[in-house]
Amino acid sequence: MKNYASPNAKIWTGRTSDEQLYLHEKIQCIPLDEITWTPQKSIALLGYACDEGVRRNQGRVGTVNGPKSIKSSFGKLPNHLSENVLLYDIGDIVCVDGDMESAQDTLAQAITSLLQKKQFPIILGGSHDVAYGHYQGIHNYVSSKNKKHTIGIINFDAHFDLRKNMGKGNSGTPFYQIAMQCKEENRRFEYLCLGIRKDANDRLLFQAAKDLEANYVLSETFQMPFLNEINTWINAFIQNVDHVYVTIDLDGFSSAYAPGVSAPSPVGFTPYIVQECLKTIINSRKLISMDVAEMNPKYDIDNQTSKLAASLVHHVIHTMFQV
């Protein structure tokens, strides 16, 4: 497969035990095409090793190495999953010769296949153009089951990523591309963005959000004191959709927590509000897939950002698959 690299078992290191106390001891490295359906609860980690979208968007490249960095930090975390929960590293989708569209197509195919095999996909990026391929894969799976089923996107991000793609897409266009596809297919564009900053989106982007009827919460409101109100908005959004796709852009966090991103900011949100919102989403039982984007190890400090990304994934899987 042109845009695929098999898992690298050498990155899964850490403390050792005889009881799988750490995730690197539990993880199984299996190529994508060898994953099969299983009646057991199963989680598949797939990297999106691509920063072409950031380059096209005039950002700081380096996210191509994001998946490896997150996996390395994730493996060192403690394992509280029961023995009957399977955890796989199935490799990476890679971008060859700047052909981001081909990488997105391969990602979409992989997502559809994983969902068909009853895996819970967690995609580790990589620039935020991961969202377009990721959504396509979910849409292809869902529409094969029931064409009327709706997919709600919940994006934790400082940016709308609703830029019009003039010719080619980039890391700032994925949700505009999805919106245009929904319009062509006469489907509702269901989009909730949490953590939007006024100093990170120009007025044309706010107008685009209005025109597309996107829902959003500004960064000054996306804080712990307003958690009850935020959860009310999240629940209202989820009630109108059949499935939820969560995407977490690490550049939405304050650079105090996430310096290793393409577009850092000292006034972003905190991990605590995101974790609480993720609990609400998971409790709805509609979460179908998720990704973490914009991990840029080139600018990280003491692996803070990769550890944050790893902790978020750890939080999600241990909330979903409680012992």
Hey, what domains does the chain have and what are their CATH numbers? 4-320 (3.40.800.10)
Coil, strand or helix at 83: coil
The mean per-residue pLDDT over the stretch 172-178 comes to 97
114/94 Cα distance (integer angstroms): 17
Q: pLDDT band for position 323 (50/70/90)?
A: low
What are 11's strand-pairing partners?
A: none
Q: pLDDT band for position 148 (50/70/90)?
A: confident
Q: Which of 227, 226, 151, 149 is nearest to 192 (CA)?
A: 151
Radius of gyration of the chain (CA): 18
pTM of structure: 0.97
Judge whether residue 256 has pLDDT over 80. yes
The mean per-residue pLDDT over the stretch 5-26 comes to 97
Q: pLDDT band for position 272 (50/70/90)?
A: very high
Question: What's residue 322's pLDDT?
Answer: 79
Whole-number Cα distances in Å, 23 to 73, 83, 125: 10, 12, 19
Q: pLDDT band for position 166 (50/70/90)?
A: confident
Judge whether residue 193 has pLDDT over 90. yes
Q: Which of 204, 319, 206, 307 is nearest to 250 (CA)?
A: 307
Question: What's residue 64's pLDDT?
Answer: 97
Binding-site annotation, residues: 128, 157, 159, 161, 249, 251
Question: What's residue 165's pLDDT?
Answer: 87
The mean per-residue pLDDT over the stretch 162-180 comes to 95
Q: pLDDT band for position 146 (50/70/90)?
A: confident
27/38 Cα distance (integer angstroms): 16
Judge whether residue 122 has pLDDT over 70. yes
Binding-site annotation, residues for Mn(2+): 128, 157, 159, 161, 249, 251
Q: Using one digit for the tens of pLDDT, what is the confidence trace for 203-248?
A: 999 999 999 999 999 999 999 999 999 999 999 999 999 999 999 9
Q: Which of 49, 259, 263, 238 is nearest to 157 (CA)?
A: 263
Inter-residue contact 292 to 124 (CB < 8 Å): yes
Q: pLDDT band for position 134 (50/70/90)?
A: very high
pLDDT mean across residues, the chain = 96
